[in-house]
């Protein structure tokens, strides 16, 4: 038996509650959906608990939770919304933590189209540039900050197409409805497109860190077990494989 698998089994046995299996309802930001599914697959393989995932924009999930949506955990694409839920009394006290740091890229399916300095934004003849709605999606806010830093946000307004979330934004580009777009690096890894097309990995100096936080909304044995697992090194390896930095990695 591989050491990683053995470590995971031992970890889950240690955190497994002495009670019947539960169904865990998790709200997750669109950019983290595929990664979370991989984490859930490993968790469920060694646990009696089952996980139901609902993905969407961080802003919409935040509004749903404030209005009483029955989620147990919330994995956001920013730190602001989990912090607000904590301040408003909608979450379990002291449960908020950073689970990943996202990375923004400018990507086109066309090889050689996006250069490694992002000059295509100023010189390109593209008709449509995709980005997530900055009011709803943290990756959209990061994209807006990049364009503002380059003095291009107002100039490119007529060519911007905004997705409700980063998943829809990625689809705009992948299907050719936009020639290029600001997407999450994790999406390219999840779709197998990280080595296809062309991309510019945005310098972190151009946008505020995409610190992705989670918070417990309903204190249950299943929720505690899952949070213990996702903070573990086996889960951290999954996150890094999908293109995220993890808090332990950032601290090195």
Question: pLDDT tens-digit profile of 59-92?
Answer: 999 999 999 999 999 999 999 999 999 999 999 9
Q: Is 166 labeled as ligand-binding?
A: yes
Q: Is 58 labeled as ligand-binding?
A: yes
| Band (250; pLDDT cuts 50, 70, 90) | low
For domain 3-101+210-250, the question of CATH label 3.30.2230.10 is answered with: no
| Band (18; pLDDT cuts 50, 70, 90) | very low
CB 163 within 8 A of CB 171: yes
* pLDDT tens track for 45-61: 989 999 999 999 999 99
Q: In the chain, where are the structural domains located?
A: 3-101+210-250, 104-201
Question: Measured between alpha carbons, how far is 168 from 56 in angstroms, rounded to an integer?
Answer: 10
Residues with Cβ within 8 Å of 146's Cβ and at least 6 positions away in sequence, in order, are: 104, 182, 202, 206, 207
Long-range contacts of 229-235 (CB under 8 A, 24+ apart): 229/8, 229/11, 229/12, 229/15, 229/39, 229/42, 229/43, 230/39, 230/99, 231/97, 231/99, 232/8, 232/11, 233/7, 234/4, 234/7, 234/8, 234/11, 234/42, 235/39, 235/42
Q: What pLDDT is recorded for position 178? A: 98
| Band (252; pLDDT cuts 50, 70, 90) | very low
Flag whether the pTM goes above 0.85: no
Task: Please report how many Cα atoms fall inside a 13 Å half-sphere around the Cα of residue 42, on the Cβ side.
Answer: 24
- Segment 165-170 shows an average pLDDT of 94
Mean pLDDT value across the chain:
91
Pick the CATH number of 104-201 from 1.10.8.100, 3.20.20.300, 3.90.230.10, 3.40.190.10: 3.40.190.10
In this predicted structure, the answer to whether residue 228 has a pLDDT above a threshold of 80 is yes
Asked if domains 3-101+210-250 and 104-201 share a fold, the reply is yes
């Amino acid at each position: 038996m591989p050491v990683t698998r053995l470590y995971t089994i031992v970890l889950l046995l240690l955190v497994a509650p002495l009670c019947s299996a539960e169904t865990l309802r998790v709200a997750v930001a669109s950019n983290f959906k595929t990664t979370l599914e991989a984490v859930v697959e490993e968790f469920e393989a060694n646990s009696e608990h089952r996980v139901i995932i609902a993905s969407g924009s961080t802003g919409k999930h935040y509004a749903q939770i404030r209005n009483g949506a029955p989620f147990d955990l919330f994995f956001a694409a920013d730190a602001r919304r989990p912090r607000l839920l904590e301040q408003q009394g909608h979450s379990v006290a002291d449960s908020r933590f950073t689970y990943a740091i996202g990375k923004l890229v400018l990507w086109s399916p066309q090889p050689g189209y996006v250069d490694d300095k992002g000059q295509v934004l100023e010189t390109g003849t593209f008709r449509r540039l995709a980005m997530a709605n900055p009011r709803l999606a943290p990756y959209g806010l990061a994209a807006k900050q990049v364009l503002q830093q380059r003095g291009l946000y107002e100039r490119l307004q007529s060519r911007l197409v905004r997705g409700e979330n980063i998943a829809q934004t990625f689809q705009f580009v992948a299907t050719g409805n936009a020639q290029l777009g600001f997407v999450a690096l994790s999406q390219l890894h999840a779709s197998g497109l990280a080595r296809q097309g062309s991309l510019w990995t945005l310098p972190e100096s151009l946008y505020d860190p995409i610190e992705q936080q989670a918070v417990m909304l309903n204190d249950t044995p299943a929720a505690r077990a899952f949070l213990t697992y996702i903070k573990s090194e086996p889960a951290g390896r999954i996150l890094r494989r999908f293109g995220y930095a993890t808090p332990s990695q950032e601290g090195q």
